[in-house]
Amino acid sequence: MRILLIANTLPPTDISGVGEQVVQLAAGLREQGHEVEILGRGPGGAFGSKLMFPVSVLPSFVWTCRRFRPHVIQVHESDGALVALVARTLSAMQTPSPKLVALLQVSYRGEMRAVRPLQAEGHVLGRPGLQEQSFLWLKGPLQVIFGCLSAWLADHVLAPSRRTAGEIERDYKISGVEVLPNVTGGRQIDLQEPTGYPEPGYLLFVGRLRIRKGVEVLLHAMDRTGTDLPTLRLVVAGDGEHRQRLERAISRLGLGERVELLGRCDFNQVQTLMSRARALVVPSTYEGMPLVILEAMAIGLPVVASSVSGIPEVVRDGETGWLVPAEDINALARVLREIHDEPEELRRRGEAGEQWVRREAGPGAAAQRWLELIRTEEGS
């Protein structure tokens, strides 16, 4: 079968769950003997910026379809809406007509709802900045329209978790969304020399710095552990529109000696940071299914995460990690003390998570699931 995957963000240029999922799925499908091409930005693909991708990718898409004649075209997120529209037009000119698949990592209506103040114990911990607020009035509504268009045009709509599938069905007014879980293991890891990295034993956060990631909740939990665990440290890998507000929160809480903001890190840097961490902490208020959780579990790094969105479908409290209610400072601080005081439990859950990922979340498993959902007579 010939399969064309189209995505705006692809490694190593971009760090995103969408791009990683495309690479992982392509690896699994190629292992099973299928021809896979990936179309993104850069030579042979779209020109210009991420913002222009929905339009600038169209010439390359048309040319690739004529040359490659794919049996299946898969678009990702709202960026593929115009491609989906053109694909429907081209399908009338190609025999057999290609199947059109839309893989949607989140509902953009859900992401818009997540742009709100973080609150705990009757207090506001953090507020979205101007850039995030503008998302509500400008980019967000457009992405909802494009997301709906992608979903309505597609023969198959996929989501990374059951919870996300339900959100997309509700928010985009469609039915029959299938689940294709995120996966890991399809990229070679090049661990780097430890020189210049923080000393081992820290807590690690990885992700784009935005309000829905809940980092302020983690900072307040760190503050509450300060009396009994003054040496517990947090390393934050990532950048984004919320960084300056986090810097002010760190200063206000007096956490300058215990929290380090590293900024943007590439794939191998993140993997090296994970190999030296005590645990990965994901305090989000909204997600699809964070790929970083699977990457941590794949190397036996224990995960502490909010019980939101699709996370409980992977992180099972008491088995493969710890789940806490979102925006609950005391619950998160309690778990941070537990993982510090009970290294054997830390090891047990880390090993259980690693075994689960090996069994359930490899590229081969994703490819098999994808084929079960998508396979056509033309591509069999």
- Interacting residues of 251 by C-beta distance below 8 A, sequence separation 6+: none
Q: What is the pLDDT of residues 43-81, one digit of tens each?
A: 888 888 888 999 999 999 999 998 999 999 999 988 889
- For residues 305 and 326, what is the distance between their CA atoms, to the nearest angstrom? 8
- For residues 2 and 181, what is the distance between their CA atoms, to the nearest angstrom? 22
Q: What pLDDT was estimated at residue 92? A: 63
CA atoms within 13 A on the CB side of 321: 32
Of 37, 41, 153, 25, nearest to 87 by C-alpha is: 153
Q: Can you spell out the DSSP letters for 280-295?
A: EEE--SS-S--HHHHH
Domain 2-186+362-374 CATH (choose: 3.40.50.2000, 1.10.8.100, 3.40.640.10, 3.40.1590.10): 3.40.50.2000
**Ranges for all domains in the chain classified under CATH 3.40.50.2000:** 2-186+362-374, 202-360
Residues in the chain, pLDDT under 70: 92-95, 186-188, 190, 376-380
- For residues 115 and 223, what is the distance between their CA atoms, to the nearest angstrom? 24
Q: What pLDDT was estimated at residue 318? A: 93
Q: Does domain 202-360 have CATH number 3.30.70.260?
A: no
Q: What pLDDT was estimated at residue 377? A: 42
Q: Bridge partners of 235?
A: 204, 260
- For residues 62 and 4, what is the distance between their CA atoms, to the nearest angstrom? 12
CA-to-CA separations, 56 to 73, 143, 175, in angstroms, rounded: 17, 17, 30
Return the DSSP state at 313: G
Q: What pLDDT was estimated at residue 93? A: 65
Round the average pLDDT of the chain to a whole number and report it.
91
